[in-house]
Each structure stands twice: as C-alpha cells, then as structure tokens.
Amino acid sequence: MLIYKHLGVYWDEFTSGNDEFLRVLITAQSDSVNSLVGEIIREKYAVRVDALNKTAFEGRWREIERWLLHDGWVIEDGQLVRLTPEAEEATSVRDRLIEELKSSDLDNDGAIRKCIEESAKSFMAEPPDYNEATTKVRIALETIARRTATKVADTKGGVAYPEDSWSKALAFLRKADVLELEEEQMMVRVYTFISRGAHVPVGITGEEWARLARTFGLSSSYFILKKYEAARHAPLSQ
C-alpha cells in the first residue's frame, strides 16, 4: 500500500523480487522516496506488528537509522530531520570524491575507493565499528597525498619524492607549489585530529565522532585531489 501510495507502483508489478524493488526505488523521484521513508518511520510500530521476527526487525531498523545518519538525516520523535549543512555536505563530498577517483590516475587500482567504501560499511555495520570507519578514511587521505607527491615528482623531470610518508608528502607538495603553506598546515591538523581513533573526546558519542572525523577526512581528500588535478594543467614552479 505504501509503495503504491508514494511511488505509484502496485505490488504485483514486482515480477523479479528484490531486484525489481530496488530498481523502482533507484529510479523514483527523491521526494517520493523521502515521503515513503518518512511514513515508514512515523508508522514504525504499526509495521513492526506485522513482522514475523521482532528481533530481526529491530536489527534492520538500526541499519536504517545508521544509513539515514550516513546520508545526513536523523530520526527525532518519529520524524525524519535533516542534520546540519556540514553533515549534508559530507555525503556530497564523498560521492563526488568517489566519482572523480574513478577517472583519476591516483586510483587506478581502486585502493582509495575501497578504503572509502569500507569506511561506510564499518559505520553501518551491526554493531558499528566507528574506529575502523575513521581509520579507513585516514588511510584514504594519506594514500591520496602520497600518490599525488609521487605523480608530481615524476612530472618534474626526475625530481625525487624524498620519502613515502604523510608529512614528507605534504612538504613536497608545498615545495612543488601544489599546496600553499596554510593548506599544508591545515592538512596536518586534519590528519592529527582524525588520528585519535578510539580516543573519543568527552561529551561526544562514538557515532558523532566518526561522522565528524569522516567529514574532515573526506573533504581533505577531495581538496588534495582537486589541487592535484589543477596542478596537472598548470606549469609547476621549478
């Protein structure tokens, strides 16, 4: 009934099971999906009554809550509420970063994208692994910086990238005019901030900490990637 009400599709039209159901959701207008999810949330207890396994239902419901949080939404008093613009931006940056990495020579092997995807899976897992979710983003950020330094060194006529490390990579990129001094310092602070791992600051939940750390890490990764792409199309200072 809810599928038809919000998406205009009768249940008997789903001829190929879950695959067809997913296709309908993917191709539906975002406002329609939003209204569908919103009503399911409002009517959670009515839906739960019909669940054959209440324990399984609660586990799936926690998954829904984490996926919504991952995409910048939270459930408050049975209502779907958009989080702050910063959290909303994190999702947008993640998607743009993954898309641009697909065509970037920094990620021919897909290792960076794999870290980003594994970070999301750890965040959504049951139970969630917030430390792993943060660590994977930090690895992605460090890998982007190291590979950028290596690529830039190759374009400068055999100039050696001195050492395969985070700090040396940033220093090299500053000397190569890919990063400015303030940008290098910003990247250092971000890396230090998200490297706290399981040491969550007092007053912040592990979930809140992971979301904040991932926002900083993904945004910084995207920033370095865009600086690298800009440097490829402009002469580097010798």
Per-residue pLDDT tens over the stretch 108-130 = 999 999 999 999 888 877 678 88
Examine the pLDDT at 156 and tell me if it is beyond 60.
yes
**Residue-wise pLDDT tens digits, 47-74:** 888 888 888 888 888 888 877 876 767 7
- What per-residue confidence (pLDDT) applies to 82? 65
What does the pLDDT read at residue 98?
92
In this prediction, residue 236 carries a pLDDT of 45
Q: What pLDDT, in 10s, does the model give residues 130-154?
A: 889 999 999 999 999 999 999 998 8
Q: What are the structure tokens assigned to 48, written together?
A: 């739960």
Question: What are the tens digits of pLDDT across the range 6-51?
Answer: 888 777 766 666 677 777 788 888 788 888 888 888 888 888 888 8
Is residue 41 within 8 A of residue 6, CB to CB? The reply is: no
Q: For residue 233, what pLDDT is reported?
A: 73
Tell me the C-alpha to C-alpha distance, in Å, between residue 68 and each of 82, 98, 113, 122, 202. 9, 19, 21, 15, 25
Give residue 121's identity as a one-letter amino acid code: K
DSSP state, 84?
-
Class of domain 85-232: mainly alpha
Q: Could you tell me the sign of the dihedral formed by the alpha carbons of 182, 187, 190, 192, in that order?
A: negative
Q: Give residue-wise pLDDT tens across range 157-209.
A: 666 676 678 889 999 999 999 999 999 999 999 999 888 765 666 777 888 88
pLDDT digit string, tens, across residues 84-107: 544 444 557 888 899 999 999 999
Q: How confident is the model at residue 235 (pLDDT cuts 50, 70, 90)?
A: low
More confident residue, 76 or 160: 76
Phi, psi of 14 (to 5 degrees): -85, 85
pTM above 0.85, yes or no: no
pLDDT at 141: 96
Confidence at 225, pLDDT banded by 50, 70, 90: very high
Domain ranges of the chain: 2-82, 85-232
